[in-house]
Amino acid sequence: MTDIVILGAGYAGMAAAIQLAARKIRPAAGDAQLSAGDAQLSAGDVRVTLVNAGDRFTERLRLPMAATGQEVAELRIPSLLAGTGARFEQGWVTSVDLDRRTVSLEDRKIKFDFLVYALGAVPDTSSVPGAAEHGYTVEDAELLPSRLAAAKHVVVGGTGLTGVESAAEIASRYPSATVTLVGRSAPGATMNPRAGDYLRRALARLGVRTVQGEIDKVLPSGVRVNGVFLPGDVFLWAGGTKISPLAAGIETDARGRIVTDEALRSVSHPFVWAVGDAAAIRQPYGIMHGTCQGGMPTGVHAALSIIRTLAGKEPRKFRFGYYHTPVSLGRGDGVVQFTHGDDSPRRFYLTGRLAARYKEVVTASPWPTYRRMKRFPASGAFWPHGKRS
């Protein structure tokens, strides 16, 4: 019996767990990543365990909606794993012992032979003085609707995708509030000029005020930006993120991400595989940045690579190219910037209701993808958010 433990049930961890568990109980003829001559795993060969603090799957792509009180699906991890044979262990991971190959939860230990590290990034409120004491993040989605409903002034920190989508949802849901979006760069700065202009005009139509600058400090009644005070009854931090420190002992980069080889194995501990936001994965264009677009493919690839390893074969190199940057601007508007594989913008983009519908298809795509994995575990080479390069 080989024990494979996956830490974290986000998009990447869930993809790894379903692919591993489904593959081991449903032999397949072969696929683009695992040739027809490769051995398949029988049900008694492997035990797959997915560990997560809660039993609810967090749809990170819908957190700005949840934070504004909009109804989102109640997705439970045991239900998503149903029929795969994977076990679910609920609990907070307190430590990982790499020498003894055990994961410690609050009240028990779980042994492993292979570890898939999928504990992704969380908002880093420590980077802005006062943000932890006086601010919220989209992770506080259950707390925010009542606060936002009573707020006259809302400040959103961070002009990346999460910040833009959050500001747009807040302005749409609470039109009586003044919403200010603050960041070092202009919203849509990474898009081609016309797509970026559309995004900024859409924010202006919603009444979102944009301030470019550095947040000096968050106060109980507002924020200071470049020394100027901006009133805010609610401050929402949507800026930088940090990685869980549980990777201590494993070689990481300056941001705390596990450094991997070309097959997604840790360069210091080859029995550890890192996926999603937790991994520093080098591609020809540089280190991948953490998004759902790249997270699910890394989870699938790690699963298939572990299966190849158990079959006595060398894992294959992971190659991934970006395809698009879809951004919601409320429920009926959006921008979709199509990109080159290195994530640089192409000339082609979508706007308006068509872009909003496109973004909704992307946001909902993990669920049919997971279902296909259960039914056709050999078909691991499909990427709902990106493309193979």
Range list of H helices, the chain: 11-25, 63-67, 77-81, 131-134, 144-150, 161-173, 193-205, 292-310, 352-364, 366-375
Relative to beta strand 345-351, strand 334-339 is: antiparallel
Q: What pLDDT, on a 0 to 100 scale, did the predictor assign at position 25?
A: 43
The ranges assigned to domains in the chain are 2-120+244-323+365-375, 125-237
DSSP 105: E
Q: What are the b/e assignments for 242-266, b being 16+ CB within 10 Å?
A: ebbebbeebebeeebbbbbeebbbb
Q: What are 175's two structure tokens?
A: 């039109």
Total length of the chain: 389
Task: Give this prediction's pTM.
Answer: 0.89
CA distance 26 to 280: 32
Domain 125-237 in the same topology as domain 2-120+244-323+365-375: yes
Strand order in the sheet with 2-7: 87-90, 46-52, 2-7, 114-117, 272-274
Which two structure tokens, joined as six digits, stand for 56?
């609810």
Nearest-5° angle of CA 146, CA 151, CA 155? 110
The CATH number of domain 125-237 is 3.50.50.60: yes
pLDDT value for 30: 43
Residue 367 is predicted with a pLDDT of 74
Q: How much is the pLDDT for 373?
A: 77
Whose tokens are 């068509």? That residue is: 354
Token pair, residue 370, equals 């997971």
Provide the Cα torsion 157, 163, 169, 173; round to 10°: 0
Please identify every stretch of the chain with a pLDDT value under 70, giving residue numbers as ranges. 24-44, 375-389
> Does domain 2-120+244-323+365-375 sit in CATH 3.40.190.10?
no
Contact 217, 227 (CB under 8 A): no
> How far apart (Å, rounded) are the C-alpha atoms in residues 154 and 5?
41
What is the structure's pLDDT at 32? 41
At 120 the pLDDT is: 86
